[in-house]
Amino acid sequence: MRKRYPGIAVRQTLMWRIRRLVPTAAAVLVLGLIWLVPTASVSTTAPNSSPTPGKVANPQRIDYCKPGMSGVRFGTDRNDVLKDWDTLGEIICAGAGDDTIVARYLGTIVFAGQGDDNVNTRQKQPGIANNIQGGDGNDTAIIDKSDNAKGVESVRSMSTSSINRVGSSTDRVGKNAWEYPAVQPRIQCVIVDGERRLLFDPTPEIRAVDSTAQVDWQSVAWSPVLTLWNAQSQRWDFVVQNEWLWDRTYDEQITTFKGNRWRSYKPGSEPWSLWFYAFRPQTFYRVAVYYYHYAEGNVPAHRIYTWVDQYAGEFAAPDGKSCFFPR
């Protein structure tokens, strides 16, 4: 079931679409435990309150081929042969030579760079989406129907079968409404090594806007905000906002999706596990998330801010809307 939120009108009517995760059996059992702490003030106030605003502006411009960026395979200034590995969200950044680049796996992104490069992203099986960005020089690409190539001088499609897609195959350019698909994270309320944690498990999933008949690609980002319940003022107070994390991903025409590879904007840093530390006991904590789609082609940038409404684990409040750590 998908929840829809109104967006901001920017010439088009923007629509936000977000889906709640279906609770696992384990989560249902945990939420069914007897809870002896009164929570009336939270359960009655939280659903009708707006999220406490964060303090960080929109995410910065992404430098995909910045040295040290996580999950990037770099070429040299020689004539390289570059191939991807079966790694989630791999990026290939070629150098200045006349390179041969081969993408074999779902979600690989190619930045051809300088030189006269030959790129091959054709696979025998359908539904393996790749994104190719040409560079300076005379580039050539062999692609299939699941791929999207821009800035390439010569593109040859070798597709023999349709892609694994959903929805209409008609061109969506010129629509007066966009859908920005995302799946909420789930917060696990746990104590690990004596620390009270709000653990993101799983993290959000954000997909590209499906704006054309091609498989569309888009850069996306998210940033969570931690709040705590102030019983005196009867509101959620801001505690801290995490840095923005980004990914570049494809739209829902490709039904196979292994999740986003969330990267830090800081080179040499990759967030393998994400959590907030709850520093105060006997307190309710709640998380809100900023979701951001970068502008891409005719699709305008879009940001929305909303509560995470799924909490699980031993210290989840009985209404499933927050964490409460009694000790």
Where is the domain boundary, 157, 182, 211? Answer: 157
Residue 189: its pLDDT value, please?
Answer: 98
130 falls within a domain:
yes
Residues 243, 134 share a domain: no
pLDDT at 103 over 50: yes
Residues 257, 195 share a domain: yes
Per-residue pLDDT, averaged over 284-304, amounts to 95
Name residues whose C-beta falls within 8 Å of residue 19's C-beta, 6 or more positions apart in sequence: 1, 2, 3, 181, 182, 183, 184
Residues 280, 256 share a domain: yes
Question: How many CA atoms are closer than 13 Å to the CA of 159, on its beta-carbon side?
Answer: 16
Per-residue pLDDT, averaged over 169-183, amounts to 64
For residue 209, the Cα-to-chain-centroid distance in whole angstroms is: 12
Residue 93: its pLDDT value, please?
Answer: 96
Per-residue pLDDT, averaged over 25-38, amounts to 29
H helices of 81-202, in order, are none
125 falls within a domain:
yes
Element (H, E) at 88: none
pLDDT at 198 over 80: yes
193 falls within a domain:
yes
- Rounded to an integer, what distance in angstroms lies between the CA atom of residue 10 and that of residue 27? 40
Residue 273: its pLDDT value, please?
Answer: 79
Which residues sit opposite 4 in a β-bridge?
A: 17
SS3 14: strand
**Cβ proximity of 135 and 113 under 8 Å:** yes
Share of the chain above pLDDT 90, in %: 66
Residues 258, 115 share a domain: no
pLDDT at 26 over 90: no
169 falls within a domain:
no
Q: How many residues does the chain have?
A: 327
Output the average pLDDT for the chain. 82
Which residues sit opposite 110 in a β-bridge?
A: 92, 132
H helices of the chain, in order, are 25-31, 40-45
Residues 204, 302 share a domain: yes
314 falls within a domain:
yes
Per-residue pLDDT, averaged over 215-219, amounts to 96
For residue 4, the Cα-to-chain-centroid distance in whole angstroms is: 17
Residue 229: its pLDDT value, please?
Answer: 93
pLDDT in tens, 117-165: 999 999 988 899 999 999 999 999 999 999 999 999 999 987 644 443 3
Residue 37: its pLDDT value, please?
Answer: 33
pLDDT at 217 over 50: yes
11 falls within a domain:
yes
Residues 183, 96 share a domain: no
Residues 178, 230 share a domain: yes
Q: What is the signed CA dihedral for 64, 68, 72, 74, rounded to 10 degrees?
A: 100
Residues 307, 243 share a domain: yes
**More confident site: 44 or 300:** 300
162 falls within a domain:
no
For residue 86, name the pLDDT band (cuts at 50, 70, 90): confident
Where is the domain boundary, 157, 187, 203? Answer: 157
Residue 17: its pLDDT value, please?
Answer: 54
Residue 61: its pLDDT value, please?
Answer: 94
> How many domains in the chain?
2
SS3 41: helix
- Rounded to an integer, what distance in angstroms lies between the CA atom of residue 239 and that of residue 242? 10
Q: What is the signed CA dihedral for 258, 264, 267, 272, rounded to 10 degrees?
A: -60
Sheet of strand 275-277: strand arrangement: 275-277, 195-200, 187-192, 311-312
**Cβ proximity of 65 and 93 under 8 Å:** yes
- Rounded to an integer, what distance in angstroms lies between the CA atom of residue 270 and that of residue 90? 13
For residue 16, name the pLDDT band (cuts at 50, 70, 90): low
SS3 307: strand
Domain that holds residue 194: 2-61+174-325
Residues 109, 244 share a domain: no
Residues 10, 132 share a domain: no
163 falls within a domain:
no
SS3 304: strand
Residues 94, 6 share a domain: no
- How far the first Cα of the chain sits from its last, in Å, is 36
Residue 19: its pLDDT value, please?
Answer: 57
Residue 168: its pLDDT value, please?
Answer: 36
Name the pTM for this structure: 0.82
**What does DSSP say about strands 91-93 and 72-74: parallel, antiparallel, or unpaired?**
parallel
Per-residue pLDDT, averaged over 79-92, amounts to 92
Where is the domain boundary, 157, 191, 224? Answer: 157
Element (H, E) at 110: strand 109-111
**Cβ proximity of 54 and 73 under 8 Å:** no
Element (H, E) at 130: none
**More confident site: 213 or 56:** 213
Residues 218, 315 share a domain: yes
Per-residue pLDDT, averaged over 3-26, amounts to 40
